[in-house]
């Protein structure tokens, strides 16, 4: 079966413009406008998701299947393009019958073109094909827009759900833009409703207990310090068996290296 991506290529229909229009319409929706005004820190985080949204929409259009009726009409149109005018005249009754059977939007216009002209000239042949192609472009564009509208509704539903979660946690966790970005990423599905309700509860409790809040922050920094990147490791001497050397004062010294960790290389 014909894919929508192939149909767009055949008819030179550009889906990029339609995807961008849909994204802009989504960002301009009242739900998002109000959300951005209430939680400005999360606006950049949501905007950072736009490339992923675009890719998801392109993938949806690429994988979508064209309805059988439209596929059959497109195949007939392609075959008709290969015919000379005399050959086309011979096939014209079958073409008109097919358009009627498929309930093509072009069926009535095609019939009117043939009945209003007693002689089917090469110029009329060209006009017939041009208008047929235009009808197919309109049908393909409509199909793209219908699929994008379905995706917009689904995407808006997902975004609204994430906005609800992010909005409830924002006062607790989004102390800066980076934290707001992580919070928006978490809302993609890693947290369940009970999880964020518990976080909100703990956040409200800590906000009322400054000493405990300070302790929690210290514990958080301590935990992060346990994982030290390689660039912050210091090189020191490490003992290896058989590498002892006796110094002038009679004590032993050791060669080799040993690794310890610190906050800097100084």
pTM: 0.64
3-state secondary structure of 261: strand
For residue 26, being part of any structural domain is answered with yes
User: Residues 37, 147: one domain?
Assistant: yes
For residue 7, being part of any structural domain is answered with yes
Q: Which domain holds residue 122?
A: 1-164
For residue 263, being part of any structural domain is answered with no
User: Residues 103, 200: one domain?
Assistant: no
For residue 188, being part of any structural domain is answered with no
Orientation of helix 122-173 relative to helix 50-63, angle to 10°: 140
User: Residues 93, 26: one domain?
Assistant: yes
User: Residues 204, 85: one domain?
Assistant: no
For residue 187, being part of any structural domain is answered with no
Residue 170: Cβ-neighbour burial (10 angstroms; 0-12, 13-18, 19+):
buried
Q: What is the tens place of the pLDDT at every residue in 20-76?
A: 988 888 888 888 888 778 777 777 777 888 888 889 888 888 889 999 999 999 999
- Report the pLDDT value the prediction gives residue 79, as an integer from 0 to 100: 96
User: Residues 97, 217: one domain?
Assistant: no
- E-strand ranges in the chain read 233-236, 244-246, 252-254, 258-261
Residues of the chain short of pLDDT 70, as ranges, are 163-266
- Report the pLDDT value the prediction gives residue 199, as an integer from 0 to 100: 52
User: Residues 200, 160: one domain?
Assistant: no
User: Residues 152, 199: one domain?
Assistant: no
- Report the pLDDT value the prediction gives residue 260, as an integer from 0 to 100: 45
- Report the pLDDT value the prediction gives residue 98, as an integer from 0 to 100: 97
Q: Give me the number of domains the chain comprises.
A: 2
User: Residues 32, 110: one domain?
Assistant: yes
User: Residues 140, 40: one domain?
Assistant: yes
User: Residues 155, 197: one domain?
Assistant: no
User: Residues 130, 6: one domain?
Assistant: yes
For residue 258, being part of any structural domain is answered with no
User: Residues 146, 57: one domain?
Assistant: yes
3-state secondary structure of 235: strand
């Amino acid at each position: 079966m014909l894919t929508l991506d192939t149909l767009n290529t055949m008819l030179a229909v550009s889906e990029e413009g339609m995807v961008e229009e849909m994204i802009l319409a989504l960002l301009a929706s009242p739900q998002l406008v109000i959300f951005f005004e209430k939680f400005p820190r999360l606006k950049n985080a949501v905007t950072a998701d736009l490339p992923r949204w675009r890719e998801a929409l392109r993938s949806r259009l690429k994988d979508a299947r064209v309805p059988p009726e439209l596929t059959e009409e497109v195949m007939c149109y392609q075959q008709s393009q290969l015919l000379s005018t005399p050959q086309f005249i011979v096939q014209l009754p079958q073409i008109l019958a097919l358009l009627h059977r498929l309930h093509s939007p072009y069926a009535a216009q095609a019939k009117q073109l043939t009945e209003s002209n007693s002689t089917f000239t090469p110029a009329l042949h060209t006009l017939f094909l041009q208008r047929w192609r235009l009808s197919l472009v309109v049908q393909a564009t409509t199909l793209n827009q219908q699929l994008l509208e379905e995706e917009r509704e689904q995407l808006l539903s997902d975004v609204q759900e994430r906005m609800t979660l992010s909005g409830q946690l924002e006062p607790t966790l989004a102390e800066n833009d980076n934290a707001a970005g992580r919070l928006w990423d978490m809302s993609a599905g890693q947290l369940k409703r009970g999880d964020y309700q518990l976080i909100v509860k703990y956040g409200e409790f800590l906000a009322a207990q400054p000493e405990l809040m300070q302790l929690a922050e210290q514990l958080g920094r301590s935990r992060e310090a346990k994982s030290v990147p390689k660039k912050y490791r210091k090189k020191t001497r490490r003992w290896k068996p058989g590498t002892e050397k006796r110094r002038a004062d009679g004590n032993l010294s050791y060669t080799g290296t040993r690794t310890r960790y610190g906050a800097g290389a100084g």
